[in-house]
Amino acid sequence: MLHQRVHIRLGGRRWRLSANPEDRFDGFHDAGLLELAMGDQTAMEALRRLHHDHHPGATMAPIPDDEVIRQVGGLLQTGRICMIADGQFDSYVAPFEPRYSGSAWWHAHEGKYPNSTSIDDLSDLFRPRVRAFVDALEEAGAMVQVEATRRDKIRAFLMHYAWLVAHGGILPKKVPKRDGLSIIWDHGNLKASKKAAMEMVKLFEMAHIAALSSNHIAGNAIDMSITWSGTLEVKNAKGKVVKVKAPRNGGKNTTLHAVGASYKVYKLVKDPPDDPHWSHNGG
Ligand SMILES: [Zn+2]
C-alpha cells in the first residue's frame, strides 16, 4: 500500500506529517507538537490517520487518543516521523512511499515479495515430480497439506539482511544493492538503523537468520504434512503398490520416503528433523 502525507493545521500554521526522515526542513520533530495536537480535533484526526497508515490492520475510530499519542510520540522520539512547517501546500494528500527500512517500509512493500504455498510455483524440474507423488498419495487416501513451496528471493534477501543489520552482523551501508528492491538500511546512525531492521525481523517473525539461497528459493523444495489412517496403499513411480503403515506421518516414515524417492521427491533427513521438507535432491 502507499503511505500518505498528512496535513494538519495547528496554531495558525499548516504542518505536514511525513514518515521520511529526509523530509526534515524548517520544522521540528518532537513530542511537543503532540501536546499541542491533543486539544485540536483536526490534528488528532490527522494523527489518527497517520497511525492508521502505519498499521493498516488498525481501524480508524476505536483507537483511543492517548494510544495514538503514545505510538506516534514513540516514532517522533526516534526521529522516524518528522513534522514539518508547511506553508506551500494545500491540504491535498500526496502519495508517499516509505524508502527507509523499518515497520512502515515493511507494511508498504512486503506484499510485493510473497512466498508461495502453491505447487504451481515450483520449478519446471521439480513441479511434475511433486504432482505425480501428491496425486498418488491423494489417490491412496492420504491427507496432504502443503505449507510452503517457493520462497521469494527478494523476501529472503530482506530477511537475511534485516537480521544481520539488527544483530550488528553488517554495517547498514555495507548491505549490497539489489535489482528490483528499493530500501535504505542506513538511517544515518547505527542505533536507529539497527532498531529499524529489528522491526522488520519481528514483522517477518524470524527466529534465526534466513539463507540467501536454498532449494525453496529455487523452487526445488516443498514443505508438506502427509498423514493417513490404517495402512496406506500407495503406488510408487513404477506403478507398484506399496503398503505403508506406522508411523503415520510422512516426515517420519522411511517406507514412504522410499516411495517419494521413486518419484525423485527426496526427504530431507537430518537431526534435528525437518519433518515437512522434501526436495529435488534431499537437501
Ligand atoms: Zn522446507
Residue labelled with grid coordinates 544515518: 188
Judged by DSSP in three states, 134 sits in helix
Examine residue 147 and state whether it is found in any structural domain, yes or no.
yes
C-alpha cell of residue 133: 507423488
> Can you give the CATH number for the domain in which 141 is found?
3.30.1380.10
Tell me which residue of 70, 33, 32, 37 sits closest to 54, measured CA to CA: 70
54 with 8, same domain? yes
224 contacts 276 by C-beta, under 8 angstroms:
yes
Residue 207 makes CB contacts below 8 A (sequence gap 6+) with none
144 with 238, same domain? yes
Tell me which residue of 223, 247, 211, 65 sits closest to 134, measured CA to CA: 223
137 with 272, same domain? yes
127 with 243, same domain? yes
C-alpha cell of residue 169: 552482523
141 with 52, same domain? no
The Å distance, Cα 223 to ligand 1 centre, comes to: 5
Judged by DSSP in three states, 247 sits in coil
Residue labelled with grid coordinates 515493511: 106
What is the structure's pLDDT at 116? 95
The Å distance, Cα 228 to ligand 1 centre, comes to: 21
DSSP designation for 180: T
Does the pTM exceed 0.75? Answer: no
91 with 124, same domain? no
Environment of ion ligand 1 (residues, CB < 5 A): 221, 223, 277
20 with 140, same domain? no
What is the structure's pLDDT at 48? 56
The Å distance, Cα 78 to ligand 1 centre, comes to: 37
Domain that holds residue 255: 119-151+214-279
What is the structure's pLDDT at 40? 53
Dump pLDDT digits (tens) for 90-145.
332 333 456 789 988 898 889 999 999 999 999 999 999 999 999 999 999 999 99
Dump pLDDT digits (tens) for 191-242.
989 999 999 999 999 999 999 999 999 999 999 999 999 999 999 999 999 9
Dump pLDDT digits (tens) for 233-278.
999 999 999 999 999 999 999 999 999 999 999 999 888 888 899 9
Domain count for the chain, please give it: 2
Cross-strand bridge partners of residue 143: 227
What is the structure's pLDDT at 49? 59
